[in-house]
Amino acid sequence: MAGFAPEVLAKMVGLNAPKGLGTTFFVDGVLGLDTNPGTPPEAPMQTIAGALGRCINAHNDYIYVFSNPTPEAVWPIVINKTFVHIIGIGHNPDHRPSIIIPAGDTAVFLVSSNSNKCEIAGFRFGGGATHAGIENVAGTPMGLYIHDCLFGHQFDATNTPLHGIWIGANATALRIEKCKFFGTNSGRITGNGINFVGAGDSLSGAIVDCLFKELPGIGINGSNMIGFEILDNRFGYPVDNAGAAITLAANCHHNVVMRNNANVGKAVAGGVLAYVDGAVDNHWSGNLKAGLLNLPA
């Protein structure tokens, strides 16, 4: 990548760098050193945490990651700067995204209120046995954008994340788009694709155009979700459990769930509902199972 200006590199990986672009850092887990300046591609840093340490809050800084696994000194990688973009070279999950496998039972990225308006894209995630690829356990991340990532699709049998994304606290204006979540039959996730649990309400977010494949748990497991849009997602699962595609708990309100498409394995009878809703004020329309309209239980 030597010789390319940051704005040219951004376009090469499918991004349009916005006006007001801050500092651009480059990370290479194999060839980089955290003592390098990190700003020219030919002198990259070694760790994402090292690059984050040089970012400035609300500065619209970019971190491009060339290769992984990144030899981070501490796991998880705490995103503690606002308005930072962390992009794996490859960007699109069909174009060999950068792989991040954490050391031990831990998440890869940990987000909180210190991660407002951050972007994570272009990675293939592992995770710890009791953790997820990306976790929010405290604080209220606002405007977090996660897209074009693969979760759980690892060939290392010892790397089995519990969930793909785990939202354990408030999250406002969270957007998850064009991600893929793979279960134990074709990847490594052992629980749910996207798992919301309830320390507080997650507000006005969106989960759009994602693929959930053969997860042993639930594709989108919702608790304390309010005002979300859940649109145009695809689900394939090996066992015909009720709510295996989308399950919303009784504390989920005013969500719009439209045009999602679910299917069960060819050898499974497929007689139960793919969607379950414990509340009365969510809005469902045009959701399919095996090509037929499927209203939630």
Flag residues of the chain having pLDDT under 70: 1-20, 67-70, 90-97, 154-158, 185-187, 267, 269
Q: What is the pLDDT of residue 94?
A: 61
Q: Helix %, strand %, coil % for the chain, to 5?
A: 5, 35, 60
User: Distance between the two ends of the chain, CA-based, in angstroms?
Assistant: 52
CA pair distance 127, 159, nearest whole angstrom? 6
pLDDT tens track for 71-89: 888 999 999 999 999 999 8
pTM of the full predicted structure? 0.91
Q: What is the pLDDT of residue 180?
A: 94
Q: Where are the domains of the chain?
A: 75-293
pLDDT tens track for 7-24: 555 554 445 555 568 999
Q: Dihedral of the CA atoms 244, 246, 247, 251 (nearest 10)?
A: 170
Q: What is the pLDDT of residue 131?
A: 94
β-partners of residue 48 are none
- Give me the residue label for tokens 């090469």: 12
What DSSP state is assigned to residue 29?
T
Give the chain's radius of gyration (CA, Å).
19
Q: What is the pLDDT of residue 186?
A: 56
164 close to 181: Cβ distance less than 8 angstroms:
yes
